[in-house]
Amino acid sequence: MPFGAAMAYIEREIRRLMGKAIHRYRLIQDGDRILVAISGGKDSLAMLNLLHERKSRVPIKYDLKVLTIDLGFEGSDFELLGRYIESLGYDFLLKKTQIGPLAHSAFNRENPCFLCARLRRKIFFETAQEFGCNKVALGHHKDDIIETFLMNVFYTGEISTMVPYQSLFKGALALIRPLSLIEEDKIQAYVKLRALPEVKDCCPSRGMSRRGEIKRLVGELSKRDKRIKGNIYAALSNVKGEYLIPVHVSSR
CATH of residue 47: 3.40.50.620
Do the domain assignments include residue 252? no
Taking residues 141-158, report their average pLDDT: 96
How many domains does one find in the chain? 1
Residue 72 vs residue 4, higher pLDDT? 72
On average, the pLDDT of the chain sits at 92
Asked if pLDDT for residue 2 goes beyond 80, the answer is no
Taking residues 118-133, report their average pLDDT: 96
CB 38 within 8 A of CB 85: yes
231: exposed, middle or buried (Cβ count in 10 Å: 0-12, 13-18, 19+): exposed
Asked if pLDDT for residue 252 goes beyond 60, the answer is no
- Distance, CA of 204 to CA of 81 (rounded, Å): 21
Do the domain assignments include residue 172? yes
Q: Which range has the worst mean pLDDT, 105-114, 140-149, 164-173?
A: 105-114
pTM confidence score: 0.92
Do the domain assignments include residue 246? no
pLDDT in tens, 174-211: 999 999 999 999 999 999 989 999 998 888 877 667 88
Asked if pLDDT for residue 1 goes beyond 70, the answer is no
- Quickly state the pLDDT bin for 218 (edges 50, 70, 90): very high
CA 96, 54, 14, 229 dihedral sign is positive
Q: Tell me, what's the pLDDT at 249?
A: 65
Range of the domain at 16: 3-241
139: exposed, middle or buried (Cβ count in 10 Å: 0-12, 13-18, 19+): buried
- Quickly state the pLDDT bin for 3 (edges 50, 70, 90): low
Radius of gyration of the chain (CA): 19
| Alpha-carbon 107 to chain mean position | 27
**Which value, to the nearest 10 degrees, does the dihedral of the CA atoms of residues 201, 205, 208, 210 take?**
-110
Taking residues 29-55, report their average pLDDT: 96
Q: Tell me, what's the pLDDT at 208?
A: 67
Do the domain assignments include residue 21? yes
- Quickly state the pLDDT bin for 19 (edges 50, 70, 90): very high
Q: In DSSP terms, which residues pair with 33 in a beta bridge?
A: 63
Do the domain assignments include residue 180? yes
Taking residues 200-226, report their average pLDDT: 88
pLDDT over 90 percentage in the chain? 78
Q: What is the DSSP string of 146-186?
A: HHHHHHIIIII-S-----SEEEEGGGTEEEE-TTTT--HHH
Q: Tell me, what's the pLDDT at 231?
A: 97
Asked if pLDDT for residue 108 goes beyond 90, the answer is no
Do the domain assignments include residue 248? no
Do the domain assignments include residue 249? no
Q: Tell me, what's the pLDDT at 70?
A: 93
Do the domain assignments include residue 25? yes
